[in-house]
Amino acid sequence: MHTHYSDGTGSHADLLDAAMKAKIDAIIVTDHNVWVQDMETYLQKGRKRVLMLVGEEIHDPTRSEPGNHLLVIGANRELARFAPKPQQLIDQVNTAGGMSFIAHPIEDDLPAFNEKAYNWDDWSITGFTGVEIWNQLSEFKTRSKNLLQALRNALFPQQMNLDPKEETLKLWDELLASKPHKIVAIAGVDAHAIQYRKGLFRVTLYPYEFHFKSLTNHLIVPRKLSGEINADRSMILDALRAGHSFLAYEVPMSARGFRFTVNSSAGQFWMGDTVTAEAGLTFQIRLPIRTHVRLIKDGIVIKEHYDREVLTHITKEPGIYRAEVYIDYLGRHRAWIFSNPIYAV
């Protein structure tokens, strides 16, 4: 998400206020090629509060074709000067103790507005934390092939979101299989609150508050946020780094209550964890409502239910297991929840 320090239209205070209205716990602001210092804070109103953390979205502006955007979180230093060499940038992030996520790795251009695609093209890299598998502004580009579609999607945003790009999900599964480290999936709203004006007509391409009520990242943490910024910041970043999380499209309904776990003789394990398979595993997906759920192993659907609240799978097979959930909303079958994997070895 972006402020007027780069190409957004709002201030950090505007984003905090929108997050408070959207009733979420925390946001991470990532302006383009600028790490805005001394902005991390809590906003408190009565018994409600929201935490704002600050990272950076780094890219090389001298590239002949746009792309290779990297979300940097928790590094606590300016790293944009390393953008021309993605591996060097990732190495610097790791040295600084931060995390790096490939932003909108595959997207379409937007010819109606002469907007190019901002893809990632350097796949020789390693050591990055994860990948953004669902980006709301990228989906707007995919579903707005002409001015009429763009206008409809801007005026009726709750109608637009259907799912991440199939190619991006395939890419994530390939990265999970090929990289020697875990690949954490996140969602990004890519909020700019871009304002279009033509004569008397004005439209904001997704106000911040709408963004914050749509695509979200749910973190599994050991305790509630306390209001002590340093402790809460560390807990959030630790959960994000470990992949103790799932992402959800919240417009149809809240995804709170979703759980994806595995039980073995060693105990219960969560998304992002690694577990030994040889003694036997019991995977369980629990949903807030009865709907369509898939269990995926190594990129292939191995079990699927269309009207269940629980999916259970017993196995001794090692592999990378993750969950997908779909929901009917406004006459369309839409993606709802994507878990991070459980790694069985």
- The pLDDT tens digits for 55-95 are 999 999 999 889 999 999 999 999 999 999 999 999 999 99
Predicted local distance difference test score (pLDDT) of residue 198: 63
Contact by Cβ (8 Å): 53, 27: yes
- The pLDDT tens digits for 198-242 are 666 677 778 999 999 999 999 999 999 999 999 999 999 999 999
Rounded to a whole number, what is the distance in angstroms from the first to the last CA of the chain?
A: 36
0.85 surpassed by pTM: yes
Predicted local distance difference test score (pLDDT) of residue 201: 63
Q: Is 199 helix (H, G, I), strand (E, B) or coil?
A: coil
Q: What distances in angstroms separate CA 126 from CA 176, 183, 235, 244, one per listed residue?
A: 12, 10, 25, 21
Closest to 175 (Cα-Cα) out of 215, 138, 124, 218: 124
pLDDT at residue 196 is higher than 80: no
- Residues 140 and 231: their CA atoms lie apart, in Å, by 36
Average pLDDT over the chain reads 94
- Residues 136 and 91: their CA atoms lie apart, in Å, by 28
- Residues 38 and 106: their CA atoms lie apart, in Å, by 33
Of the listed ranges 72-86, 130-144, 149-163, 276-290, the least confidently predicted one is: 149-163
- Binning pLDDT at 50, 70 and 90, where does residue 145 land? confident
Contact by Cβ (8 Å): 205, 140: yes
